[in-house]
Amino acid sequence: MTLATLPTRRDEAWRYADMDGLARLGVAALDQWQAIDVGAGESVTRCLIVGSDAPELHRFRVTLGEGARAAFFVTNAGQDYTRVEMEVHLAKGAHFEFGGVTIGGGDSTREFVTQVVHAEPEATSNQTVRAVHWNTGTGNFLGEIKVARHAQKTDAAQDFKALLLEAGASANAVPQLEIFADDVKCAHGATVGELDEAARFYMMARGLDPATAQRLLVQAFIGDAFVALDDADEHARLLDAALSALEGARL
Partner 1 sequence: MLEITNLHATVGGPDNPTPILKGLTLHVPAGEIHAIMGPNGAGKSTLANVLGGKPGYDVTAGSVTFNGQDLLSLEPHERAAAGLFLGFQYPVEIPGVSNVQFLREALNAQRKARGEEPLSGGEFLKLAKDKAALLQMDMDMLKRQVNVGFSGGEKKRAEMVQMGILGPRFAVLDETDSGLDIDALRIVGAGINSIMRAPDKAVLLITHYQRLLDVVKPDKVSVLADGRIVETGGPELALRLEAEGYDAVMA
Q: Return phi, psi of residue 117, to 5°.
A: -105, 110
Instruction: Specify the stretch interacting with partner 1 by CB under 8 A; choose among 47-55, 58-66, 85-93, 215-223.
Output: 215-223
Angstrom distance (rounded) from CA 95 to CA 49 = 22
DSSP 181-211: -SS-EEEEEEEEE---HHHHHHHHHTT--HH
210 contributes a contact to partner 1 by CB under 8 A:
yes
Of 35, 40, 54, 204, which one interacts with partner 1 (CB under 8 A)? 204
The site for partner 1, by CB under 8 A, has a size of 23
| Least spacing, CB of residue 105 vs partner 1, in Å | 22
Instruction: Specify the stretch interacting with partner 1 by CB under 8 A; choose among 22-30, 98-106, 220-228, 234-242.
Output: 220-228
233 contributes a contact to partner 1 by CB under 8 A:
no
Nearest Cα neighbor of 212 from 220, 71, 157 is: 220
Which of 63, 214 has the CB closer to partner 1? 214
| Least spacing, CB of residue 95 vs partner 1, in Å | 24
Of 16, 72, 221, 226, which one interacts with partner 1 (CB under 8 A)? 221
Of 70, 131, 217, 243, which one interacts with partner 1 (CB under 8 A)? 217
Nearest Cα neighbor of 58 from 117, 95, 110 is: 110
| Least spacing, CB of residue 193 vs partner 1, in Å | 13
Which of 35, 251 has the CB closer to partner 1? 251
201 contributes a contact to partner 1 by CB under 8 A:
yes
For the purposes of burial, counting CB atoms within 10 Å of the CB of 59, is it exposed (0-12), middle (13-18) or buried (19 or more)?
Answer: middle
Instruction: Specify the stretch interacting with partner 1 by CB under 8 A; choose among 14-22, 46-54, 113-121, 198-206.
Output: 198-206
166 contributes a contact to partner 1 by CB under 8 A:
no
Of 3, 23, 35, 199, which one interacts with partner 1 (CB under 8 A)? 199
Per the CB < 8 A criterion, the answer to whether 242 and 75 are in contact is: yes
Give 74's contacts (C-beta < 8 A, 6+ positions apart): 47, 48, 49, 50, 84, 98, 99, 100, 101, 112, 238
Task: For CA atoms 13, 16, 19, 25, give the dihedral sign.
Answer: negative
207 contributes a contact to partner 1 by CB under 8 A:
yes
Of 19, 48, 223, 228, which one interacts with partner 1 (CB under 8 A)? 223
| Least spacing, CB of residue 211 vs partner 1, in Å | 10
Give 141's contacts (C-beta < 8 A, 6+ positions apart): 100, 102, 111, 112, 113, 114, 129, 131, 158, 160, 172, 173, 174, 190
Give contact residues for partner 1 (rule: CB under 8 A).
Answer: 196-199, 201-210, 212-213, 216-217, 219-221, 223-224
